[in-house]
A and B are shown apart, each in its own frame.
Chain A
Amino acid sequence: MTAAGGTVHWAADADEANRIVTRLVRETGETEVVKVKSMATQEIGLNEALEEAGIRAYETDLAELIVQLGADRPSHILVPAIHRNRGEIRAIFAREMGRWGRPAPDGLTDSPRDLAEAARLHLREKFLRAKVGVSGANFMVAETGTLVVVESEGNGRMCLTLPETLISVVGIEKVVPTWRDLEVFLQTLPRSSTAERMNPYTSTWTGTTDTDGPRAFHLVLLDNGRTDTLADEVGRQALRCIRCSACLNVCPVYERAGGHAYGSVYPGPIGAILSPQLRGTASEIDASLPYASSLCGACYEVCPVAIDIPEVLVHLRERVVQGGEVTRRGVKVTLKPAKGHAAERAAMRAAGLAFARPGVLRAGLRLASRTRRFHPRTLPGPGRAWTATRELPKVPAESFRDWWQRTGGGKDDGRGGK
């Protein structure tokens, strides 16, 4: 890519990436940039960092525009404004567009066609004026230095070709070795993402081209926890993700909880394994994400790159409860077991002891059977919330093991006769 006229920058974390992009924009003397929808720039909070530096970043994807104008947060990887209905979008456009540029037309209706037309007019002015574009990339090809952006609306093409300077921020896991590898991914991504044979627009570019497109191209390669994730032999498969969002669409937990509940730009099952690895499990939300799943496995079934999300979830739960060795910012550290799980660990230890000793297990089972009439119908203390909507399982009068022994494995049913 350097050979083709581009400049490469390496960013170990979000702050460094933001500093690099801010500096690059400042060097152009511009105070506005147009943006293609990009998960990586959301992950590092680029818009906020640019704003602090007095640079306005305009989102140009329709859904991202809705989110930005509404001072909102995205709730889905592919359709970030899925939580807004057409009436709300009409209200946001009518109220906010004028403050950002060309106002929404008078008498704007709430039909998606009219709303899209309002966005077209609002953004066209920005595209034609913009001198700096900021993008991510869906793929990078190592052998040719080519970047790929897959999109539907044409805002990507606008941002990639009209500005004089293009800055792309891309996670290092987006690289594929050869040009030929695209034959797999260009067929896989649209099908898993929107169930289309092919998305309306795909752009590829290699460095800069004379007279066609930006004259300066900068690629910011972002680590931000990716090499730490790579160091985990079970968890590293999450880096294969191509952000198609198929796992969100089938997830029963995502369907009920919604994207905002995941506290990250990566919602849904993939977010539940990606965020705690990229950010670590130190915060309450990151430690709880591996539990945001019923382990039903639907996500693994639809994943086009075969990430075994349930396996990684269980692996991360183990890490939260038991602690252990992980890599953070390139350094191996040992995590302490999480405090909140002391009771669980004690219960598991007790269960382990009992299951390893048949005598103890038998005594325990018999004790439970004999005292069954004294068992409460609801649990005391914190267990009460659980039994408020469920019945405790009834303990039978005789355990299976005792029954088996008494009847010789069921041959004699215990009532006489064969």
Chain B
Amino acid sequence: MILGRVRRALGGPGGAPASYATDIDRGYRRRHGERTVEQTVDLLAENLAEYRAIVHRTDAGELPLLLMRLLAERWPDTVLVPPGLPHEWMAAVDAPLVHDRAVSTAAELDRSGAVVTGCAVAVAETGTIVLDGSPDQGRRRITLIPDHHICVVRVPDQVVSSVPQALERLDPARPLTWISGPSATSDIELDRVEGVHGPRVLQVVLVSGE
């Protein structure tokens, strides 16, 4: 009935464009500015930091020690990890690891103070990391309930310049979470407060090389 109303409102059949793909003018920029790979990674780091994510840079060899240090600084009782997180990343971590299982309830997850994940893609221009629920990122809830999220981004492979380039790489069938800095609100007198319901501390580790 509603679709019939839509058709009548548009003046009956025949009003639709022949092909949406060719009729829409896509003359806008796919990205904003020319940058080398290094500059793109630098821009990502800069934009993440500007939105109050804490950015660290390291290489694959130093990653386990860095993760140990970052977690030790905040002393979580336990650290949540998704099922497919590379074992060697957490090799040096002292705190007990909790593996997320399908039966873990939200209340159980609420007891973990921190979570470590990988990511699907990171967007330099907007300072965004995107999670798509792959095995190294896990279910959406594990990056939501703990108060401290450490996200490891492989650079430069996982970094793109812009939102259009990120959408090209992502699969719409997967549940996606785009994260640009820790959660925030400006609902009280437009005064910005960081950390409402999501993790209040977001640390992003840019790891280069193998």
Contacts and interface: CB of A to CB of B under 8 A. Distances in A.
Interface of A: 4, 10, 12, 60-63, 66, 79, 81-82, 85-86, 89, 112-113, 115-116, 119-120, 123-124, 127-128, 141, 144, 146, 152-155, 157-158, 160-162, 172, 177-180, 182-184, 186-187, 194, 196-206, 209, 211-213, 221, 223, 227-228, 230-231, 236, 327, 330
B172 A206 contact: yes
A305 to B, nearest CB: 14
A12 B1 contact: yes
B5 A330 contact: yes
Given A187-B163, A197-B126, A89 B188 contact: yes
Interface string B26-67: 001000000000000000000100010000000000000000
Contact of A154 (B176, B193, B196): B196
A152 to B, nearest CB: 5
B177 interface: yes
Contact of B47 (A124, A141, A197, A228): A197
B13 to A, nearest CB: 15
Given A63-B187, A128-B106, A204 B176 contact: yes
A154 B21 CA distance: 34
B69 interface: no
A10 B4 CA distance: 12
Interface in B1-33: 1-2, 4-6, 8-10, 20-21, 28
Binding site secondary structure of chain B: loop
A198 B127 contact: yes
B188 A200 contact: no
B44 to A, nearest CB: 12
Nearest to A145: B172
Contact of A157 (B133, B167, B181, B198): B198
Given A187-B126, A211-B139, A230-B5, 8 more contacts: A4-B173, A116-B195, A120-B197, A141-B172, A153-B183, A186-B167, A227-B6, A230-B10
A155 B196 contact: yes
Contact of B196 (A10, A12, A62, A196): A62
Contact of B179 (A153, A187, A200): A200
A157 B146 CA distance: 13
Contacts of B179: 200-201
B141 to A, nearest CB: 5
Contacts of A146: 172
Contact of B197 (A112, A123, A327): A123
Interface residues of B, number: 55
Nearest to A141: B172
Nearest to A67: B187
Contacts of A154: 144, 183, 196-198
Contacts of B106: 127-128, 162
A146 B4 CA distance: 23
28 contacts: A12-B1, A60-B197, A62-B196, A66-B188, A86-B188, A89-B188, A116-B193, A116-B196, A128-B107, A153-B185, A154-B183, A154-B197, A160-B140, A161-B175, A162-B106, A179-B172, A183-B164, A197-B127, A198-B126, A198-B128, A198-B180, A200-B198, A203-B140, A212-B139, A221-B2, A227-B6, A230-B5, A230-B10
Nearest to A223: B2
Contacts of B177: 157, 201-203
A200 B180 contact: yes
Nearest to A172: B2
B144 A172 contact: no
B187 A66 contact: yes
B72 to A, nearest CB: 25
A81 B191 CA distance: 13
Can you list the 10 inter-chain pairs with the closest CB atoms, starting with the nearest? A154-B198, A154-B197, A227-B5, A231-B9, A198-B126, A202-B178, A63-B187, A183-B164, A154-B183, A230-B9
B184 A153 contact: yes
A159 to B, nearest CB: 10
Contacts of A221: 2
Nearest to A63: B187
A340 to B, nearest CB: 29
Contact of A62 (B110, B172, B187): B187
